[in-house]
Amino acid sequence: MQLSQKEARRTPGWMGIQRGHKARPLEWLAEKFIFLVSLSTILMVFLIFVFVAREALPVFLGDTDTALVSPVIPPAEMDHHSPAELEKYLELTPAQFKAMDHDTLMSLMDVKVEAANDIPESFRNSRDARINTTEWRYLLLPHQWDDYQKPEYIWQPVGQIKKFNIIPLFVGTLKITLIGLLFAVPLAVGAAIYVSQLARPRTREIAKPAIELLSGIPSVVVGFFALLVLATVLQKIFGYQTRLNAFVAGMALGFAVIPIIFSIAEDALTSVPRAYTQAALALGASRWQTAWQIVLPAALPGVFAATVLGFGRAIGETMIVLMVCSASVMSWSVFDSARSITTTIAAEMAEAVNGGPHYRILFMLGALLFAATFVSNMIGDFVIHRFKTKLEGKR
């Protein structure tokens, strides 16, 4: 029953707001506020990309230079050069340049000369000495460095001549991820089929939460287990040379990814309309035949999306691979060590000079990784969306 205006003013409502149109302005504000907060999620995704790419921008623009030997201006000749030239040589912004006094500038010049003198003879005369190793050509294509017999892809950012080829990292990431998926997808999808279609309800009630419990294990713990136990066990079984290799890392990665694929695939399989299953059973098919030939094809888009999301998670997993694998070897062999992009970022950021070319290339790898997972997420989303509308349309 509506209170009269007078009564409404006398009775304090929630938050002192009276009923009726007096409540509108505050409500409107609150609703706008809610909308803005929701927009913040979009903002976050945007900010992540912007700020990670921002640190990597100089590499994209070709502004970094890691040439070992470059022309050195002797401190005595400092006054012969214009401020603009000195700023470029010393890597200062105009504001910083103005704020410095003569002595400070001299000491910066001295540092440059010392750096040049520190280079060992053998490297000064190497033909790699004048190469800017952060150019795209060296990041992507093989190059025959000094002391190597043929052009190779080398990621070796430590040392006098830093080699930043990112191809071994991509190969390593792909190797480990593919092994992980090869291991996880059949297991997870098989278990999903079993739990959603073939098992008794009581088994289902135990198995489903139990497998989802696997996702509650932090990746540090899975990596720790792989490092200490799994690696030894696998080495005894297979007898290969390198104890910590891509195979072990891939398997551990599979462990971590199984719950995700299982969850989504199981959801997809259970949301196939019961009518399908019941019709097939009525026609004389066994439960397995129903599951394999009727339900799975119907749920295929969902299962596929589960795999895509598992792939995205596998590519982005850091701690497991960090604890298990450590060298970036450019090889397609599964039993060689490998390094994924995420591991490289996590491990090498510590020693990279802040703001230096190595640091920026690591950020660039982060940006590329983000772009890759973004694309794979969009694909997964799109497929799930199509799948949902198809099913809802049929219902």
Q: 271 to 310, contacts with other proteins by CB under 8 A?
A: 281, 284-289, 292, 309
Identity of the residue, 135 or 368, whose beta carbon is nearer to other proteins in the bound complex: 368
Work out how close the CB of 67 gets to other proteins at its nearest, in angstroms, rounded to a whole number.
Answer: 14
CB contact at 8 A, 330 and 246: no
Q: Which of 83, 144, 378, 386 binds other proteins (CB under 8 A)?
A: 378
How far is residue 337's CA from residue 324's CA, in Å, rounded to a whole number?
A: 9
Q: Where are the beta strands (DSSP E) in the chain?
A: 155-156, 163-164
Work out how close the CB of 347 gets to other proteins at its nearest, in angstroms, rounded to a whole number.
Answer: 4
Beta bridge partners of 152: 143
Contact between 42 and other proteins per CB under 8 A:
yes
How far is residue 71's CA from residue 257's CA, in Å, rounded to a whole number?
A: 52
Work out how close the CB of 60 gets to other proteins at its nearest, in angstroms, rounded to a whole number.
Answer: 15
Identity of the residue, 175 or 313, whose beta carbon is nearer to other proteins in the bound complex: 313
Q: Which of residues 57-86 bind other proteins (CB under 8 A)?
A: none
Work out how close the CB of 79 gets to other proteins at its nearest, in angstroms, rounded to a whole number.
Answer: 19
CB contact at 8 A, 218 and 151: no
Q: Which of residues 205-224 bind other proteins (CB under 8 A)?
A: 207, 209-214, 216-224
Q: Which of residues 96-115 bind other proteins (CB under 8 A)?
A: 96, 100, 104, 107-108, 111-112, 114-115
Task: Residue 135: name the closest of 51, 72, 58 by CA.
Answer: 58
Work out how close the CB of 334 gets to other proteins at its nearest, in angstroms, rounded to a whole number.
Answer: 15
The stretch among 74-82, 132-140, 156-164, 267-275 that binds other proteins (CB under 8 A) is: 156-164
Q: Which of 4, 38, 76, 77 binds other proteins (CB under 8 A)?
A: 38
What the block records as the tokens of 372 is: 């890759």
Q: Contact letters (x/-) for other proteins, 325-354, by CB under 8 A?
A: -xxxxxx-----x----x--xxxxxxxxxx
Q: Which of 59, 176, 323, 361 binds other proteins (CB under 8 A)?
A: 323
Distance of CA 218 to the CA centre of its chain: 17
How far is residue 51's CA from residue 55's CA, in Å, rounded to a whole number?
A: 7
The stretch among 24-32, 57-65, 79-87, 134-142 that binds other proteins (CB under 8 A) is: 24-32
Tell me how many residues contact other proteins (CB under 8 A).
140
Identity of the residue, 76 or 350, whose beta carbon is nearer to other proteins in the bound complex: 350
Amino acid sitting at position 213: L
What the block records as the tokens of 197 is: 């279609």
Identity of the residue, 138 or 255, whose beta carbon is nearer to other proteins in the bound complex: 255
How far is residue 344's CA from residue 349's CA, in Å, rounded to a whole number?
A: 8
What the block records as the tokens of 300 is: 């295929």
Q: Which of 85, 356, 386, 394 binds other proteins (CB under 8 A)?
A: 356
Q: Which of residues 239-268 bind other proteins (CB under 8 A)?
A: 241-244, 255, 258, 262
What the block records as the tokens of 173 is: 């990431």
What the block records as the tokens of 227 is: 């490092």
Q: How crowded is residue 90: how many other Cβ atoms within 10 Å of its Cβ? A: 17
Work out how close the CB of 384 gets to other proteins at its nearest, in angstroms, rounded to a whole number.
Answer: 9
Q: Which of 299, 317, 361, 383 binds other proteins (CB under 8 A)?
A: 317
Report phi then psi at 156, rounded to 5.
-150, 75
Contacts of 390 by beta carbon, 8 Å cutoff, 6+ apart = 301
How far is residue 158's CA from residue 141's CA, in Å, rounded to a whole number?
A: 19
DSSP readout, 87-119?
Answer: HHHHT--HHHHHH--HHHHHHHHHHHHHHHHHS
Work out how close the CB of 123 gets to other proteins at its nearest, in angstroms, rounded to a whole number.
Answer: 6
Q: Which of residues 2-21 bind other proteins (CB under 8 A)?
A: 2, 14, 19
Distance of CA 5 to the CA centre of its chain: 59
Identity of the residue, 137 or 278, whose beta carbon is nearer to other proteins in the bound complex: 278
